[in-house]
Structure formats: C-alpha cells, structure tokens
Amino acid sequence: MERGVELYSGKAKSMHLTEDPGRLIMEFRDDTSAFDGEKIEQLDRKGMVNNLFNAFIMTKLENAGVNTHFDKLLSRTESIVRNLDMIPVECVVRNIATGSLCKRLGIEDGLNLEPPTFEFFLKDDARHDPMINDYHIESFGWATRDEVALMKRNTFQVNEILGAMFADAGMILVDFKLEFGRYDGNLVLGDEFTPDGCRVWDTETRKKLDKDRFRHGLGGVIEAYEEVALRLGVDLEIAAIQ
Ligand code: ADP
Ligand code: UDP
C-alpha cells in the first residue's frame, strides 16, 4: 500500500490517504508534545517504539473482542488503519488519581480509585481540551446517546483487559485516554494506545514509565517506553513487516 496525500498532520502522528478510501496510513513521528502543544521536542526512536507498541496493544484488544481500527503494520513507523469518522471527544479512565484530576478537584495524588472513574474531554487544543459531560456530547451533536454509552462501556472494557496485562508485567495502568470513531455505522476504537496517552507506574517502586517523564523533564523518556514494551512482550526488533 502506497502513501497518498497527507490528510492530517497532528502533534505526533500524520494520517495519509491510500488508494483504498476505507484505509489510511498512520505514521508515528518522533515529535513529542505536552501542555496542548506548548512543549514540543523530537525524541529519537519514539515513532518506531510507539508504532510497534500500538500494533501490539490493538491486536491484543481486537483478540479480546474490542472493535479497533488497526489493520496491520506497514513499516517500523507506519500502520494501516481503517479510515474513521472521528468523534471529537477523549475518553479517560483513571484507576489512580493524578494529573489534571488532582489539580482540578484537590484530590490527593496517588489515591486509589475504586471504582475507577471516567471523564470526557473535548478535543480542542485552543480551549485546552475542556472537560465535558454526556449531555454536552448529545446536545452539541458530537455523538449519539448510544455512542456515548458504548464509548464508556468499551473504555472500561479496555481498562479491564489492559489493567490485567500491565499488572502481570509488574506495572500499574494508572490512567489512559482513548478516541473512537465510526466505520460503516459502527463504533470503532481509533487513534493509539501508547505511553504517550496513558500513565504507567512500576508496581514496586511507582517509578513513572510514561509521558510524564517528558512533561516533567525527568529524562529517560524513550528508555522508559522501551522498558514498558519489553515487559509486555512487544517485539521491538521485528524484522518481518510485509
Ligand atoms: P492530535 O490531532 O491530537 O495532534 P495526533 O498527532 O495523534 O493528534 O494526530 C492523529 C489524528 O488522527 C487525531 O486527530 C486523531 O483523532 C485522528 N485519527 C486517529 N485514528 C484515526 C482513524 N482511524 N481515522 C481517521 N482519523 C484518525
Ligand atoms: N491524555 C492524553 N491526551 C490529552 C489529555 C490526556 O493522552 O490530550 C492522557 C494522559 O496521558 C493521561 C490521561 O489521559 O494518561 C489523563 O490525563 P490528565 O487529564 O490527567 O491530563 P494531564 O495531567 O496530562 O493534563
């Protein structure tokens, strides 16, 4: 499959059209951003690590019954995905309180959340991705009531599947963000699942192994992503990409 016109270039990925209108090439770049694009740097190997990481996770989710946009790896930094009509909403599940939740509500950092909590945010960097609720999504026509219910159900399902996987590998899946879209009228998990969009701590030491290392200038960002990948069993040396 050949790359056609670039459809969209975001902060970390570029989406390219292909000869098949139902398929896009998703290219993971080395660009890394935080604080709604205010802090941007290039991190060597990040595009490759995140592409292979995402392919691994999406395949696990698909095998566990989640409908995802992932088709197959195209190269070390590119994957073929289904071309979705994206819903401009971020779905966040939190197992432990940290990040914006603590700032917003004064919750103690590190508090265990039982049950896990859920938040919707509007994908709008200019407005700093404000938190929204189910009624906003329906009233403003971003998604239907059924889609809202499905986004929540699927996000919690992903939390169950991946939470167990990370726990088995000695890590805590603290929180993460998902994006969904539509394909042939069905709700499909899109975008990515990588350490750029989740928080992962070592179970014993609580060492941060995700993008917080970049956000807070802790160093060793890609080394941490690679450690998470290796612990989960992602093959970063993959040679055979057809
Ligand atoms: P951002 O737009 O937040 O800067 P990225 O750099 O990750 O983010 O850009 C990827 C863009 O592609 C996002 O806007 C995302 O919603 C969109 N996208 C992800 N998966 C698909 C898909 N399967 N079909 C169409 N668009 C997608
Ligand atoms: N997240 C993301 N993209 C965003 C906002 C959040 O991937 O635009 C992820 C983030 O990596 C974390 C979770 O969603 O895993 C919750 O993030 P939070 O609301 O705490 O935001 P932050 O503290 O990063 O501003």
DSSP E strand stretches across the chain: 6-9, 13-17, 23-28, 31-34, 39-42, 70-73, 78-82, 85-86, 89-96, 112-122, 131-132, 171-178, 180-183, 186-189, 198-202
In this prediction, residue 240 carries a pLDDT of 52
Q: What average pLDDT does the structure give for the chain?
A: 96
pLDDT digits (tens, 9 = 90+) for 193-223: 999 999 999 999 999 999 999 999 999 999 9
**Which atom of ligand 2 is the closest one to the Cα of 197?**
7
pLDDT digits (tens, 9 = 90+) for 49-73: 999 999 999 999 999 999 999 999 9
Ligand 1 contacts (CB < 6 A) are 8, 10-13, 15, 24, 69, 81-84, 86, 179, 181, 190-191
**Which atom of ligand 2 is the closest one to the Cα of 123?**
8
Q: In whole angstroms, what is the distance from residue 45 CA to residue 228 CA?
A: 15
- Which residues are CB-neighbours of 155 under 8 A, at least 6 positions away? 91, 93, 118, 178
**Confidence class for position 242, pLDDT limits 50, 70, 90:** low
- Which residues are CB-neighbours of 142 under 8 A, at least 6 positions away? 87, 88, 89, 122, 136
For ligand 2, whether the C-beta of 117 sits within 6 Å is no
89 alpha carbon, closest ligand: 1
Q: Which domains does the chain have, with CATH numbers?
A: 6-82 (3.30.200.20), 85-219 (3.30.470.20)
pLDDT digits (tens, 9 = 90+) for 70-109: 999 999 999 999 999 999 999 999 999 999 999 999 999 9
In this prediction, residue 107 carries a pLDDT of 97
User: Quick check: 55 and 73 in contact, CB under 8 A?
Assistant: yes
212 alpha carbon, closest ligand: 2
Tell me the CA–centroid distance for residue 186 and ligand 1, in Å: 18
Atom 18 of ligand 2, nearest CA residue: 100
Question: pTM here?
Answer: 0.97
Pairing between β-strand 89-96 and β-strand 171-178 as defined by DSSP bridges = antiparallel
For ligand 2, whether the C-beta of 201 sits within 6 Å is no
Tell me the CA–centroid distance for residue 21 and ligand 1, in Å: 16
* Span 157-172, average pLDDT: 98
Q: What percent of the chain clears pLDDT 90, i.e. is strictly above it?
A: 95
